[in-house]
């Protein structure tokens, strides 16, 4: 997989926006990565969540840079926190390759050994549609003796905590917990960062401006979308300034 694929190409950015807009919410990150040329979106749905998260972080870095401003709320006092993040610091492993990650973890519980595998995006979609999302995710990703699905009702509180911890660890950069202290009351604040959702948000923010540029240049000069998107960014901006000057002079 080409982990360095980028959405800096405007035609690819619009293709990613179109693909993401037509995908289910939890699958939009995979749709964007597919449009970026990383892999078929359907195959991305079945990759370990940590690998999908890694690819999302790499694609964000090459397409939009490393700095991200995120908003979250303090549960203790209700204050809104503006948290500045560097995705480079969140990216595990070396700059060129994803980190090695254990595909599963064996837990020695009272009822026998339970094997927990990494969740996938397809698992998250299925769990979100279930009346009991937590139980559905545990059943899909956990196997007990004889490969039997693991039922939450059969686990004690401490055992369920171990399964939850294993699922979180195996998710790796696919689900990142960002921690900060509230500047108002000092309480610890934890927020989940989904690299796929973050990537989709950047695409969703960038696409309308690009479409406006296309509409402006098409109206001013009669060019097609393909011709406009093929222009280097600096030249496109120069033509936009020219179009604005022409419109002002009418």
232 vs 85 pLDDT, higher one = 232
Q: Which of 82, 2, 76 is nearest to 36 (CA)?
A: 2
Among the residue ranges 87-91, 187-191, 218-222, the one predicted with the least confidence is 87-91
- Closest alpha carbon to 213 in 230, 196, 188: 230
Mean pLDDT of 192-220: 94
pTM of the model: 0.87
**Which three-class secondary structure string do you get for 158-202?**
HHHHHHHHHHHHHHHHHCEEEEEECCCCCCEEEEEECHHHHHHHH
Torsional sign, CA 137, 198, 39, 23: positive
pLDDT at 1: 45
Summarize the confidence of residues 152-161 as an average pLDDT. 91
- Asked if the model's pLDDT at residue 241 lies above 70, the reply is yes
Give 177's strand partners: 192
Q: How confident is the model at residue 22 (pLDDT cuts 50, 70, 90)?
A: very high
**65-74, 87-96, 219-228, range with the lowest pLDDT:** 87-96
The mean pLDDT of 7-33, rounded to a whole number, is 95
How far apart are alpha carbons 97 and 99 in whole angstroms?
6
Residues 43-76 pLDDT 10s: 999 999 999 999 999 999 999 999 888 888 888 8
Which among 1-5, 40-44, 119-123 has the top mean pLDDT? 119-123
Please give the pLDDT value at position 3: 42
Greater pLDDT, 95 or 127: 127
């Amino acid at each position: 997989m080409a982990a360095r694929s980028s959405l800096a190409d405007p035609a690819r950015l619009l293709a990613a926006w179109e693909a993401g807009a037509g995908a289910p919410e939890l699958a939009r990150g995979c749709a964007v990565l597919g449009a970026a040329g990383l892999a078929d979106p359907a195959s991305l749905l079945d990759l370990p969540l940590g690998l999908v998260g890694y690819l999302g972080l790499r694609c964000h870095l090459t397409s939009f840079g490393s700095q991200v401003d995120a908003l979250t709320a303090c549960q203790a006092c209700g204050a809104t926190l503006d948290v500045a993040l560097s995705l480079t610091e969140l990216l595990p492993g070396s700059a060129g390759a994803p980190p090695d990650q254990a595909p599963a973890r064996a837990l020695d519980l009272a009822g026998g050994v339970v094997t927990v595998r990494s969740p996938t995006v397809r698992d998250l979609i299925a769990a979100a549609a279930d009346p009991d999302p937590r139980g559905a995710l545990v059943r899909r990703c956990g196997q007990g003796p004889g490969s039997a699905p693991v039922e939450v009702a059969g686990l004690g509180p401490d055992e369920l905590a171990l399964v939850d911890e294993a699922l979180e660890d195996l998710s790796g950069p696919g689900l990142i917990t960002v921690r900060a202290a509230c500047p108002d009351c000092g309480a610890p604040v934890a927020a989940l960062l989904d690299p796929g959702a973050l990537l989709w948000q950047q695409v969703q923010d960038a696409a309308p401006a690009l479409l406006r540029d296309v509409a402006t240049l098409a109206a001013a000069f009669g060019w097609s979308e393909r011709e406009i998107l093929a222009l280097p960014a600096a030249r496109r901006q120069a033509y936009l300034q020219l179009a604005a000057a022409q419109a002002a002079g009418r």
